Amino acid sequence: MTNTQAISTRREGRGRLTSQGYLGLLATQFLGAFNDNMLRWLAVPIGQRAMDPTLALTLGGISFVVPYLILAPMAGSFADRFSKRSVILACKLAEVVIVLLAILGLTTGNIPLLFAVVAMMGGQTALFAPAKFGSLPELLTPDRLSAGNGYMGLATVVACALGGVAGYQLYGVIEPAWSNGGSLAGLWPAAAALLVTAVAGVLASLPILRVPAADPARKLELNPVMATWPALRQLWSDVRLARTALGIGFFWSLAALAQLNIDQFGSNVLGLQKQDIGMLLALLVAGVGTGSVLAGWWSGGKVELGIVPLGAIGLIVSSIGLFVAGLGVDPTATGQTHTAFVATCIWLFLLGISGGLFSIPLDAYLQHRSDEKVRGTVLAGSNFVAFSMMLVALGAFYVMHGVLGLSPGMIFLLAGLSTIPVAAYILKLMPDLAFRCALWLATKTVYRLRVYGRENVPEQGGAVLVANHVSFVDGVLLLVSSSRLVRFIVYADYTRKPGLRLFARIMRVIPIRAADPPRAIIKALQTAREAVQNGEVICIFAEGQLTRTGQMQSFQPGIMKIVKGTGAPVVPVYLHGLWGSVFSYRGGRFFWKRPQKWPYPVSIHIGKPLIEPQNVHQIRQSVEQLGVEAYAMDQHSHKIPVRQFIRQSKRASSRTKVADSTGMELTGGRLLAGSLAMHRVLKREVLADDEMNVGVLLPPAVGGAVANLALALGRRVAVNLNYTMSDDVIDYCVEQAGIRHVLTSRRFLEKRPTTLKNVEFVFLEDLKEKVTAADKAFAAAGLYVLPASVLERMLGLHRIKPDDLLTIIFTSGSTGVPKGVMLSHRNIASNLDAVDQLLHLTHEDALLGVLPFFHSFGYTVTLWLPLAHRPSVAYHFNPLDARTVGKLCEKYKVTLMLATPTFLKNYLKRIEPKQLASVDMVVVGAEKLPLDLAAAFEEKFGIKPTEGYGTTELSPVAAVNVPDHRSSNTEQIGTKMGTVGRPVPGVAAKVICADTGEDLGIEKEGMLMISGPNVMLGYLNEPEKTAEVVREGWYFTGDCARLDKDGFIEITGRQSRFSKIGGEMVPHIRIEAELARIVEDPDEDEPELKVAVTAVSDERKGEKLIVLHKPLSRSIDEIRSTLRERGFPNLWIPAADAFVEVDHIPILGSGKLDLRELKRLAEESAQASVARTA
């Protein structure tokens, strides 16, 4: 078997952004950056009083930067050798000592000591930096790393802004005391601020989690020169990391330049006082903080370098904007300076945003890509590069302003112009990343995208992503959601279209076309294979084309030619939520549709990689199973049927929504009003507050629908009771469900007299008489006045959770005592959405509702589908009353007929073709659809019936054949006769060995298992039986089936309908179908079954086949001879004495064989035969 595993190349953190360790580090960084800047911008204006202002500015910057150059490499070895928490704590304690020296310098008026203290603070920060940045990947998971860096950047720049403002303000406070020689009494505000902040930093560092040292055996490098070269060598050993470090250094050189230039710009251009200049600095760093957060957010849980070019362009534009803002401004002219001040504030903020967008992705990439064991060294090398470039920038500022006398505006202009070649180089290096970023920004405005399992894409090495294909934007969404660049295998004709040619060239797509000669196809697959072997990530939409039906199509085998023998992981991907979007085929066309939501919610689910998958089916099944998980996680798809009903009824307030054969018709508005009124009467007059389960004993009709709706509006559980069962069995169901009241009607009980124990009948006729004027007023307000959302809140429907119980449906009991199947709102809603998606239902569709509501198909599809979605419905209580059914279909223009093969035989003989002229789809279930019946029905009515599959435990629909015309589909297989179709969206199917549980794959017969949101909550009061049939989310159907290569399911039998005779499994259904064909009389107007097969115990062979039959036109010997002629094995041919004539074949109300009664009749016959023999 193939192993499934996650690919990871190094240990990563597991913390969240709200974890104690990360929040402690964030607070420590904030307080440290605040104190650094407060001290620096307090020392600089003090120094400007005693020396040239430009020199003081430059000296302040150099004092802070030079220690980085000296200590950065050494700091890296400390961060690798010791626990990073220990390094951080030591730095914060050192900060307290440094602050005490600063206070000494202030009180003694020693300016050289002040600048020396600034240098010491820079040294402490240099030692702190590698431990800080190196801690992030240890404290955060990779998908939170960009966001973590963003918040760290925000904390840093906010601290820098506030620290700068605080430094300038403290200077204003202590300036009089300083001018008078300085005293501790006059300087205490500055001393207290510095010392309190340093102590707070120590306390903030204590919660940081201790993580073991990355490389405890590493030798400490105490010689700065000797430590620098290894750090730089390590950095330059990976050219991508080296380029990243240069980019970070460029940012910090611009930042250093801007900090100094703002001081001169504010003084010389805008005429601001020293204490006011801090506000300009605050705007710049606030912008950097905003940009940092935006970068983390826009990265979408991955490291997104494509944002960097956008930041570079912003730096250019903003720098030039600052130059323009300062042109021709007279500092003494109030009007000019005000306008220039506003413009400067805007451009400084934008400059800061651009800087954040530029730097944060680079920081995240450097941390993420560097190996854990040398991460501290790499970061130290990067810091050395950055602060070397900062030192150059500081020197350049002094030359430009102090020597050459350039204006501050001109310096901003030169800074912007110098960024142009940097931006050009970045775009040349990674046009694909920049293009991806642009696509991301575009898609962000249209789609609300969530990505799950991004960590399953390997960080390094080749991989193949295999995804389902739902819309034209699938590739774009996958591209922007991956942390790695992805090359796509694309239909060749698309790459030649003018709008897509540039995209194809930049993203290096691999074109392929099925119609090309084999050599061209092989070449395309070989190109993809080579890309994988070269360590690239390839994505293929293995269906080969967009789905036209909403169901996942078969996967093409070419994918195996790409991955086989490469050892590269195959990563399954499922795109969820795109069906119905503008770019999908929903409605029979692409593009020209109105968006249903804005932004449109979409999720991408990335599964665990498969290593060396055995076949395409295994990959397809992995993608299909991801679809199950996607639906379970998608909060947008967890609709509540009764809430959908309210909205649909309001939309169809004047259109007929439900009707029945008695002539009753209700529009959507009258249906909603009537249901609201009945809900109020039931709540007031009948049901206790704690009475959740309420019985319903009504046929499929308008009254039955209103009763179910009234209970749903009251958040109660409707239990539709099977009136074809005996009273004893109904009493059993009532007792199991704890039912106290049963809603019914006198008219119904006249036709089906029923006496039940321990329950009270509530008659609809009586409820109607109890409706008050207040009830009618509330119903009218609910329909015409109250918005749906308000009405839902008034009824408490907003409190319904998807997994709350909606109904209990008792099984037919064909093989034993009925079991109560508990179905939730999620169960029913998922089925409704799947059917609506596959059949492309519109308001012009009308359903035929002849299946009773106690039948799961009747409850879900003929009750809730028209109520919660757009179609209407016409009900009739007797599905075998073909003449009334025909009239109903003709009158209400029925388009969708849901029936059983037994019903179709009846309709075939007794309904005229013109009566079904509007019907364009017939779906059958409950029993196998004979192909000759399907052909005869198509010949008479022009409609080919298709088969679906489900069970009560599956809510009930699990699979269905979709006629091509329902989706205007002419290119894909939607139907295969002889099968029950493909699984509906959100549902997965597999076939296993009943004995071992082994997954048998395709084209092998075994037990059918179904997984999805439609799997029941469980059996009522029977947890043991629930555990027997629901195993790890998979429902054991008990049906024997086979999956084909296209994903269609063929039901080969029911486990309970096999006999083990002489050690061989003998299928009842197969024998039964053949017998039915042999004894069929084409001229006979008889819809009922004539034969049924069961078995009784036999001492000699274990079991013995028994055939129950009605009077036959052919002899038993002829029948047995015909079976033999048709190739049936002897064990499959019933003995002559196994044929038992009966008056009728027992059938349940649902149209299924009553297997329990069938077996009872067979056993009675066997016992009578034994008695006669004795």
pLDDT category at 300 given cuts 50, 70, 90 is low
pLDDT category at 718 given cuts 50, 70, 90 is very high
pLDDT in tens, 117-166: 888 888 888 788 778 777 777 778 776 776 777 678 778 777 877 887 78
pLDDT in tens, 1127-1140: 887 888 888 888 88
pLDDT value, residue 716: 96
Q: Could you give the 3-state DSSP secondary structure of residue 492?
A: helix
What are the structural domains of the chain?
Answer: 20-207+231-429 (1.20.1250.20), 433-637 (3.40.1130.10), 641-1043 (3.40.50.12780), 1062-1173 (3.30.300.30)
Residues of the chain with pLDDT > 70, as a percent, come to 87
pLDDT category at 225 given cuts 50, 70, 90 is low
Residues of the chain with pLDDT > 90, as a percent, come to 27
Mean pLDDT for 1140-1148 is: 82
pLDDT in tens, 569-578: 899 999 887 7
pLDDT value, residue 1: 37
**pLDDT top residue among 388 and 80:** 388
Average pLDDT for the chain: 83
pLDDT value, residue 273: 73
Question: Containing H/E element for 908?
Answer: helix 901-910
**pLDDT top residue among 39 and 329:** 39
pLDDT category at 677 given cuts 50, 70, 90 is very high
* Residues 894 and 875 sit within 8 Å (Cβ to Cβ): no
Q: Could you give the 3-state DSSP secondary structure of residue 45?
A: helix
Specify the amino acid at residue 805: L
pLDDT value, residue 9: 33
pLDDT category at 334 given cuts 50, 70, 90 is low
Report whether pLDDT(903) > 90: no
Three-state SS across 252-302?
A: HHHHHHHHHHHHHHHHHHCCCCHHHHHHHHHHHHHHHHHHHHHHHHHCCCC
pLDDT value, residue 325: 84
Question: How buried is residue 698: exposed, middle or buried, by Cβ count under 10 Å (0-12/13-18/19+)?
Answer: buried
Question: Containing H/E element for 511?
Answer: strand 510-512
Highest mean pLDDT: which range of 380-384, 741-745, 969-973: 741-745
d(C-alpha 592, C-alpha 590), whole Å: 6
Report whether pLDDT(1147) > 80: no
* Joined tokens for residue 730: 């109904």
List the Cα angle 217/222/224 in 5-degree steps. 125
Q: Which of 67-71, 469-473, 744-748, 892-896 has the lowest mean pLDDT?
A: 67-71
Give the DSSP per-residue string, 1142-1164.
-SS--B-TTSSB-HHHHHHHHHH
The β-bridge relationship of strands 1034-1043 and 1049-1054 is: antiparallel
* Residues 601 and 577 sit within 8 Å (Cβ to Cβ): yes
Q: Is the peptide bond before 956 cis (omega within 30 degrees of 0)?
A: yes
Please report which residue ranges of 980-1102 form alpha helices under DSSP H. Answer: 1023-1029, 1068-1079
Please report which residue ranges of 140-208 form alpha helices under DSSP H. Answer: 145-179, 184-205
* Residues 342 and 34 sit within 8 Å (Cβ to Cβ): no
* Residues 999 and 1011 sit within 8 Å (Cβ to Cβ): no
Please report which residue ranges of 724-806 form alpha helices under DSSP H. Answer: 727-737, 746-751, 764-769, 773-780, 788-795
pLDDT value, residue 621: 87
pLDDT value, residue 973: 81
